[in-house]
């Protein structure tokens, strides 16, 4: 794998992603709803409720990615175990990207 060295490009990309995601998630959580759209009975309100629900799924995905990434990078195991963890990390990344994209697409389209 990395021969005991830190894969800096991946580590920097992951750190930047977590920092930016943390800010945007916090803003989404603290965003006021002055028009009370979340409780209205309109198609737009339904999309907002789905959007707000999806944020918990991509938050869970980001947390799982961090745990799987740290475990995969630091575990003292054979190749097959590390490979399985890496594939799990990749799958979690794909699912997280999908939920985050869906949440954004709901509000744009």
Give the tens place of pLDDT for each residue, 56-106: 999 999 999 999 999 998 889 999 999 999 999 999 999 999 999 999 999
Query: What CA–CA distance (Å, rounded) separates 20 from 77?
Result: 32
Strands (E), 8-95: none
pLDDT in tens, 47-64: 989 999 999 999 999 999
Prediction pTM value: 0.85
Query: What CA–CA distance (Å, rounded) separates 66 from 60?
Result: 10
Kindly tell me the burial class for residue 92, based on how many C-beta atoms sit within 10 Å of its own C-beta (0-12, 13-18, 19 or more): buried
| Rg from Cα positions in the chain | 17
Confidence of residue 4 (pLDDT cuts 50, 70, 90): low
Instruction: For residue 37, give both structure tokens.
Output: 């759209």
């Amino acid at each position: 794998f990395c021969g005991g060295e830190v894969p800096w490009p991946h580590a920097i990309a992951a750190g930047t992603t977590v920092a930016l995601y943390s800010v945007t998630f916090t803003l989404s959580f603290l965003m006021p709803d002055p028009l009370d759209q979340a409780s209205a009975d309109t198609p737009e309100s339904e999309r907002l409720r789905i959007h707000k629900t999806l944020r918990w799924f991509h938050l869970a995905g980001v947390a799982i990615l961090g745990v799987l990434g740290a475990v995969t990078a630091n575990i003292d195991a054979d190749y097959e175990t590390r490979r399985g963890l890496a594939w799990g990390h990749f799958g979690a990344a794909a699912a997280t990207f999908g939920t985050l994209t869906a949440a954004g697409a709901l509000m744009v389209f």
